[in-house]
Chain A
Amino acid sequence: MHKLYMELIRMRFLTMLAYRVNYYSGIIIYAINIGAYYFLWGAIYGGQQQLGGLSVEQMTSYVAIAWMSRAFYFNNIDTEIAQDVREGKVAIEMIRPYNYLSVKTAQAFGEGIFRFLFFAGPGIFLISLIIPFHFPATATGWGLYLISLMFAFLINTQINLLTGLFTFFLFRNDGMMRAKRVVVDLMSGLVLPISFFPGWAQTVMGFLPFQAVNYYPSLIFTGAITPGRSWELIGFQAIWMVVILVPILILWRMARNRLVVQGG
């Protein structure tokens, strides 16, 4: 089983490499995004030293790392599932002796590693030449960040699986998937750190899984919190992961029973 997933990850890697132009333009897009946010935040800070509990340096690192994390956790498996269902390709997936959802997760992981190494890596390198950038000073800092990032990937992938699974019932849910993308980007703290939201919004978001996707790992990376608090956040991530698993399993069971293969 282990070998199968290694092979799936490798396959996705190769598929990503098959389209080289996509790859080069991807690096540039990441660099532009990070750069744009850097200058935007520079303007917002003006002469101020602190804003929402973050210094300018921490904010810079936050923006860069938020995008770097996104490179890893972001994937399009919901649109892939939707496409499989719409084009009837799901039939091919069902004749294979594996679990469709685990396979999708493995493929997403292959894509994540690819983007992390080839988009985010060079992107961060390019950016660090131009703007001041703080990496975690200690090995513990790096370790905590990577653990948290792994959970971020899993939670985001689960959210995608969930939206993807709705296609089995609705057949067309592009609107839902697009809305999900905006909601995740906004509420996960990619566009704006959670501490910048008004108090009531922060309370609401405390009950939602989205900040576990980006805000927690990014916060850990910037070193703005203690290792103890970091472990606490990772604990929250683990809980969210288990909680979201429940509706996925239920929906998957229902989907299997009412699957309709489209197009003959």
Chain B
Amino acid sequence: MIQVKNLQKEFRIHQARAGLGGAFRDLFSREYKTVKAVNDLSFTVEEGEMFALIGENGAGKSTTIKMLTGILTPSEGEIVINGYVPFKQREEYVRSIGVVFGQRSQLWWDLSPMESFRLLKSVYKVDGPEGDKWLDRLIEELEINPFVSQPVRKLSLGQRMRCEVAASLIHKPRLLFLDEPTVGLDVLVKQKIREFLRNLNETENMTILLTTHDVSDIEALCKRVLVMDKGKLIFDGLLSDLKEKWGNGTEVSFQMKKRTPADELRKTLGEMPCEISQVNEYTISVKVPQSQEMLPFVLSTVMSTFEVSDVKIMETSTEDIVRNIYQVDTGVRGHA
């Protein structure tokens, strides 16, 4: 459904010279620096996938989304989505996609969302009973009915955001882009929007791509994750693989019925490459680096040898993983 090959985007940035003399010289000749915002990006996405694009600020996520939605023209590379080349066949292409920008509103500020929906319906030519039914469903599922007739400027951010989502879906697109959709929303609204998106993906088989800083968004919605850094794709795969690759492993804490020293546990586990530490006389924690292979073995061995009263498994959160990625990366940058 989405095919991206060797995508690149360069920007020319004007470098201002220092001082008054520099400003004067800038009037006549300017120096430019070329910055690669997106560098050699390739990936494909199948219909019905839900996936996230993450990365630090300035990693090139937004530029990528803007190229995918046909707003920006790539410097090099190919994009084919739904059979269209976005920047060349923009007007036809955008009929098949919906876009939500968390930072920008697509509703008319002075009018009610309902008026905006009306206009969008004629923009996308979805009149007729089917369009009405779909809109009714959107209004009902997003629970925006109580305020759909108030001017947008009087809505709270959470209310507005739900209207934004409805507005982006009015023409029942096959593909939905969400650029940081949950920025600044409270937990309840976030949950409502996520639930709605998941439902949409299941019932309509809609492909959903989101960029986010909020790791809980990804955990709640996406199986697949793309990680970008400095314009490059540094990871493309399942969320579980991402955890495996960048995570700190899993920590298991055993609560024993008898006093047990850590050495005893070490003996039982043998050469297993895991960290064992004594929390208190009855509690021992074991850190397992690769959870999928080793965790079942550690659990079964310990449980069969000792009398265990309680087990707690603490997985590294995606948040930790993201922090790890960024930290490792800045470390590299420091040496370079």
Residues of chain A touching chain B, judged by Cβ–Cβ distance below 8 Å, are 3-4, 6-8, 11, 14-15, 18-19, 88-89, 91-92, 94-99, 256-261, 263-264
Residues of A with C-beta under 8 A to B11? 260
| Distance in angstroms between the alpha carbons of A8 and B115 in the assembled complex | 11
- A99 near B91 with CB under 8 A, answer yes
| Distance in angstroms between the alpha carbons of A6 and B122 in the assembled complex | 9
- B106 near A11 with CB under 8 A, answer no
Residues of A with C-beta under 8 A to B99? 95
| Distance in angstroms between the alpha carbons of A7 and B95 in the assembled complex | 18
Pick the contact of A261: B66, B91, B92 (CB < 8 A): B66
| Distance in angstroms between the alpha carbons of A261 and B10 in the assembled complex | 13
Q: Cβ of B267 < 8 Å from any Cβ of A? A: no
Q: From residue B35, how far is it (CB to closest CB) to chain A in Å?
A: 12
Give chain B interface residues in 24-82, CB to chain A under 8 Å: 62, 66, 69-73
Residues of chain B touching chain A, judged by Cβ–Cβ distance below 8 Å, are 11, 62, 66, 69-73, 87, 90-92, 94-95, 97, 99, 101, 103-106, 108, 110-111, 115, 118-119, 122-125, 127, 151
Q: From residue B56, how far is it (CB to closest CB) to chain A in Å?
A: 13
| Distance in angstroms between the alpha carbons of A39 and B37 in the assembled complex | 61
Residues of B with C-beta under 8 A to A18? 110-111, 151
| Distance in angstroms between the alpha carbons of A257 and B9 in the assembled complex | 12
Pick the contact of B122: A3, A92, A95 (CB < 8 A): A3
Interface centre among B72, B118, B125 (most CB of A within 10 A): B72
- A15 near B108 with CB under 8 A, answer yes
Complex: chain A residue closest to B118, CB-CB: A7
Residues of B with C-beta under 8 A to A96? 94, 123
- A88 near B91 with CB under 8 A, answer no
- A11 near B119 with CB under 8 A, answer yes
- B66 near A91 with CB under 8 A, answer yes
Q: From residue B212, how far is it (CB to closest CB) to chain A in Å?
A: 14
- B124 near A97 with CB under 8 A, answer yes
| Distance in angstroms between the alpha carbons of A94 and B94 in the assembled complex | 8
Known: A15-B110, A99-B91, A258-B73. 19 other contacts (CB 8 A): A3-B127, A4-B123, A11-B119, A14-B115, A15-B111, A18-B110, A89-B104, A92-B106, A94-B94, A95-B71, A95-B97, A95-B106, A97-B92, A97-B94, A256-B73, A256-B87, A259-B73, A261-B71, A264-B62
Residues of A with C-beta under 8 A to B103? 263-264
